Amino acid sequence: MKESRQRILARAVQEVKDGMCVNLGIGMPTLIANMIPTDVHVMLQSENGLLGIGRYPTEEEIDPDLINAGKETVTATTGASYFDSAESFAMIRGGHIDLAILGGMEVSETGDLANWMIPGKMVKGMGGAMDLVQGAKKTVVIMDHTNKHGESKVKAACTLPLTGKAVVDLLITDLAVFEFVDGQMTLIGLQEGVLLDQVKQATEAKFRVGLDV
């Protein structure tokens, strides 16, 4: 795993608190399941119908019928429960998910999120992200700060189809950490070895700099 990705995940796992019910989005967020400290007891929920996801399985533990929403094989913790998608989305829409950690394609300076499709590319479906950003008590987005062409993914306004408007509470990138409160974007932390000027140059969005930075 790239060092930049390790930094993102290490900062994101700090948002997982004891006693929470947490949904980890498809892709990079699912890796957090293996990073949660053993003394932090949480219930990981998957919108395809599993409450109590464990760590990734070893070769001997793989069960092809036991998967997360990203169709990756997983394990189940003691006391885990299984249910249909209707029950799963009732949990999400009913406000019972304390924290959703999702990947992102673009985030705007007002906390808009685009993460479900790129026009012209095949999409199997929008998944549960639109429900999660509305139903979860806190939404954390993790992503690279720029795309492979060096263009900022932290935008003045999203150019891709939106998942939700003003739904991001915390954005963690390989360069920095931003908080969104009442439509205001504030830089609250720099990743190790990153300078403020680097963040400013790589960020299209306008943001305030927190007092502790």
Catalytic residues: 47
Identify the bridge partners of residue 76 per DSSP, sorted by sequence position: 53
Cα-flanking dihedrals φ and ψ of residue 157, to 5°?
Answer: -150, 140
Contacts of 85 (CB under 8 A, 6+ apart): 47, 48, 49
C-beta of residue 6 within 8 angstroms of C-beta of residue 34: no
C-beta of residue 168 within 8 angstroms of C-beta of residue 159: no
User: Which residue shows structure tokens 């509305």?
Assistant: 134
Which has the closest alpha carbon to 92: 23, 20, 174, 171? 23
Distance CA 128, CA 116 (A): 9
CB atoms within 10 A of CB 126: 13
Distance CA 128, CA 89 (A): 8
